């Protein structure tokens, strides 16, 4: 009882800053948990799953895990607030219902993608706030009333806000689409910088690309923007975070650094510089892709494979160019950009890249 009271007191005194920090920490960790299985195994399984029932099943599993991103984020957010198991389940279900990942059709319910991460954040904020507001105030009715109020109310609000929140993604898509009307070099630079900045936000970069049908050089530039974001955070993180965090960044899951980025927006400067370099690389090498490959960077080799398939000329030379484009140039330039920023920017250091592991 003493321990429970201590937790309740701590929860009741949650400040606004700590509240949103908890949400961002949950988003960062939840994105990694949901996306890493497919990032590691998805593309590899595509090559070998045909005719193999076990590999086909595993492939379906890693894709399906992504669709539960909202639920995972909700559970982790509740855990950050030290909610009990029932409270965590309510927040998780609320997030899943309001994310847009669950579609209601005439034939029943279906899972459709990962939903809108911005709307997921909004629903998690609402459900966590409601639980903090109502817990321990309903007495013996708590286990009857809260499972009705929180998931249903939060989910309904989420479904209504989803229409409006999704317009943010569409609006950004129109901006990116306008870049494609410029000359190819300027287009590559602007798209690459935009994607490097958006990669570490709750906005889905894949959704933007698919919404506007971003393909060709524009898709390649977007792909290099993802690479730019990953290497920016990798060299910021490598001296300050553990091996696990750095390995996730090497794999390409920079979205886990959302809370780090929002706490230290000065990171936008190296992101833009590396994005500029990435745009130049995309233009001069001629990196191209599809709307679906635009948001993957080098994760699962989706970007390089799509780029290679669209290159003409000697295959060996193309592979060498892609190695320089995706690995050597971005990694070397990101190292120098990071060191330069540490010397020239006040408040910029390795320490701002510290990733806080969600509390146990």
Structure tokens that stand for 339 in this block: 């060191």
Identify whether the C-beta of residue 193 lies closer than 8 Å to the C-beta of residue 274. Answer: no
> What's the average model confidence in pLDDT over 256-280?
92
Query: Is residue 74 very low, low, confident or very high in pLDDT (cuts 50, 70, 90)?
Result: very high
Rg (C-alpha) for the chain, rounded Å, is 21
277 pLDDT above the threshold of 90? yes
CA 164 to chain centre: 20
Cβ atoms within 10 Å of 275's Cβ, excluding its own: 29
Rounded distance, CA 14 to CA 84, Å? 16
Instruction: Name, of 39-53, 189-203, 243-257, the range with top average pLDDT.
Output: 189-203
Identify whether the C-beta of residue 159 lies closer than 8 Å to the C-beta of residue 97. Answer: yes
Query: Is residue 357 very low, low, confident or very high in pLDDT (cuts 50, 70, 90)?
Result: low
351 pLDDT above the threshold of 60? yes
Helices first, then strands: H and E counts in the chain: 16, 2
Rounded distance, CA 236 to CA 196, Å? 15
- At residue 312, what are phi and psi to the nearest 5 degrees? -105, 165
Structure tokens that stand for 294 in this block: 């635009």
Residue 76 is predicted with a pLDDT of 92
Q: Is 196 exposed, middle or buried (0-12, 13-18, 19+ CB in 10 A)?
A: buried
Q: What average pLDDT is seen over the chain? A: 84
- Give the residue, 63 or 186, on which the prediction is more confident: 186
- At residue 27, what are phi and psi to the nearest 5 degrees? -65, -45
Structure tokens that stand for 173 in this block: 């898509």
What's the per-residue H, E or C state across 62-101? HHHHHHCHHHHHHHHHHHHCCCCHHHHHHHHHHHHHHHCC
CA 119 to chain centre: 13
Rounded distance, CA 233 to CA 253, Å? 10
- Give the residue, 210 or 2, on which the prediction is more confident: 210
254 pLDDT above the threshold of 50? yes
Residue 234 is predicted with a pLDDT of 92
CA 206 to chain centre: 10
Residue 137 is predicted with a pLDDT of 84
What share of the chain in percent tops pLDDT 90? 32
């Amino acid at each position: 009882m003493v321990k429970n009271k201590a937790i309740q007191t701590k929860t009741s005194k949650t400040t606004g800053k700590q509240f949103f920090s908890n949400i961002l920490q949950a988003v960062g960790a939840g994105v990694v948990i949901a996306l890493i299985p497919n990032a590691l195994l998805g593309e590899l399984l595509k090559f070998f799953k045909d005719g193999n029932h076990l590999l086909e099943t595993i492939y379906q599993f890693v894709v399906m895990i992504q669709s539960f991103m909202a639920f995972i984020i909700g559970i982790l957010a509740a855990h950050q607030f030290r909610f009990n198991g029932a409270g965590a389940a309510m927040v998780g279900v609320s997030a899943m219902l309001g994310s847009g990942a669950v579609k209601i059709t005439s034939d029943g319910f279906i899972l459709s993608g990962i939903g809108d991460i911005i709307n997921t954040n909004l629903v998690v904020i609402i459900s966590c706030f409601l639980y903090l507001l109502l817990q321990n105030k309903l007495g013996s009715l708590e286990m009857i009333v809260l499972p009705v109020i929180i998931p249903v109310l939060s989910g309904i609000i989420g479904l209504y806000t989803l229409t409006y929140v999704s317009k943010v993604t569409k609006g950004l898509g129109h901006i990116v689409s306008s870049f494609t009307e410029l000359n190819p070099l300027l287009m590559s630079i602007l798209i690459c910088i935009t994607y490097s900045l958006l990669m570490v936000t709750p906005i889905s970069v894949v959704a933007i690309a698919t919404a506007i049908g971003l393909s060709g050089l524009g898709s390649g530039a977007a792909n290099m923007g993802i690479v730019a974001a990953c290497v920016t955070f990798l060299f910021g993180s490598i001296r300050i975070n553990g091996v696990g965090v750095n390995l996730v960044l090497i794999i390409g899951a920079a979205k886990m650094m959302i809370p780090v980025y929002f706490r230290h927006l000065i990171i936008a400067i190296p992101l833009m510089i590396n994005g500029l370099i990435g745009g130049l690389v995309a233009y001069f090498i001629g990196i191209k892709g599809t709307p679906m490959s635009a948001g993957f960077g080098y994760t699962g080799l989706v970007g390089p494979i799509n780029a290679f398939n669209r290159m003409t000329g000697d295959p060996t030379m193309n592979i060498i160019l892609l190695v320089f484009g995706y690995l050597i140039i971005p990694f070397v330039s990101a190292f120098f950009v990071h060191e330069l920023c540490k010397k020239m920017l006040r408040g910029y250091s390795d320490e701002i890249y510290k990733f806080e592991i969600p509390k146990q």
